[in-house]
Amino acid sequence: MAHILHIDSSPRAERSHSRSLTHRFVTDWKNAHPQDTVTYRDLGHQPVPHVDEPWIAAAYSAPETHTPELQKAISTSNTLIDELLAADRYVFGIPMYNLNIPSTFKAYIDQIVRVGRTFAINEQGYQGLVSGKKMLVITSSGGSFRPGTPMGGYNFQEPFLKAIFGFIGITDITFINADNLDSGGDEGRKESLTEASNAISQAIANW
């Protein structure tokens, strides 16, 4: 039995492709694995705060020294990290915004990448503390940034997500990208969504 953390980050509701694809995945996954449990977080509609000065002071000092102000400043981060660590698998829906992830998802990453909680610094250097997890990231983009194409080098979304989650120890990451959703016309969008849908069916069988 696995516990899944499902996160969406598009600010759009019914119009969001990433959102509808993650929901399709989780619904089909639950049908195939009814015993699995899911926690849902909607960063698109309930964003988490940006880190601020009290947050930084709290993150880099011992919890037993924290004043009530610092305890409060770090409490959302603690909740988000507990939630992340409690899950075995992650399903994230992330649109491409200006060649990268939306700022709502970056704010989330800033909350969960924390020394002593999700990574450590020791004699060997940095060490990820989040091990044994699997991640599925479903991205959506208006254009296309496939490797080997002229725009391939402009995709900072997938390399960044691999790097930052790898940094905290999550290296088993599957990406499904629904691309061409705006610039490919109705035909391009349909083709891309069919491809993403097939990739989801494959992931249900093999993940």
Ligand X SMILES: Cc1cc2nc3c(=O)[nH]c(=O)nc-3n(C[C@H](O)[C@H](O)[C@H](O)COP(=O)(O)O)c2cc1C
Residue numbers at the binding site for ligand X (CB under 6 A) = 10, 12, 16-19, 95-99, 140-143, 181-182
Distance CA(18)–CA(12), nearest Å, equals 9
Cβ distance to ligand X smaller for residue 55 or 90? 90
Cβ distance to ligand X smaller for residue 29 or 97? 97
Number of H helices, E strands in the chain: 6, 7
State both tokens at 171.
Answer: 């290296």
Q: Are 178 and 141 in contact (CB under 8 A)?
A: yes
Query: Minimum distance from CB of 96 to ligand X (Å)?
Result: 4
Cβ distance to ligand X smaller for residue 3 or 50? 50
- Quote the DSSP letter at residue 119: E
Query: Minimum distance from CB of 119 to ligand X (Å)?
Result: 28
Query: Minimum distance from CB of 102 to ligand X (Å)?
Result: 8
How many C-beta atoms lie closer than 10 Å to residue 66's C-beta?
16
The Cα angle at residue 87 between residues 83 and 92, in degrees rounded to 5? 85
How many C-beta atoms lie closer than 10 Å to residue 62's C-beta?
8
State both tokens at 63.
Answer: 């919890």
Query: Minimum distance from CB of 164 to ligand X (Å)?
Result: 18
Query: Minimum distance from CB of 45 to ligand X (Å)?
Result: 12
Cβ distance to ligand X smaller for residue 23 or 162? 23
How many C-beta atoms lie closer than 10 Å to residue 107's C-beta?
16
Cβ distance to ligand X smaller for residue 85 or 203? 203
